[in-house]
Amino acid sequence: MFKKNIILFILGIVTVIVGAMLKIGDSIDNTDVILAIGLLIEIVAIIGLILFYKKSKT
């Protein structure tokens, strides 16, 4: 479970970076969509990591 959350977290970061790069390049109209997907993945990963951390502490 922990590994899955870390992979999701890294995937989210990569997606956000790619989205930001495309936004700078401004070559695609769907950059906002890519950034939104990246942020969604980030939120899910962060929530997952927090939940895992709380579980491992108890």
> What is the pTM for the complete model shown?
0.50
pLDDT of res. 30: 65
User: pLDDT of 2-55, one tens digit each?
Assistant: 787 777 777 777 877 776 776 666 655 666 777 777 778 778 877 877 877 777
User: Rounded distance, CA 42 to CA 31, Å?
Assistant: 16
Q: Band the pLDDT of 58: cuts 50, 70, 90.
A: low
pLDDT of res. 26: 64
Name the residue ranges covered by the structural domains of the chain.
Answer: 2-57
Exposed, middle or buried: residue 17 (CB in 10 Å: 0-12, 13-18, 19+)?
Answer: exposed
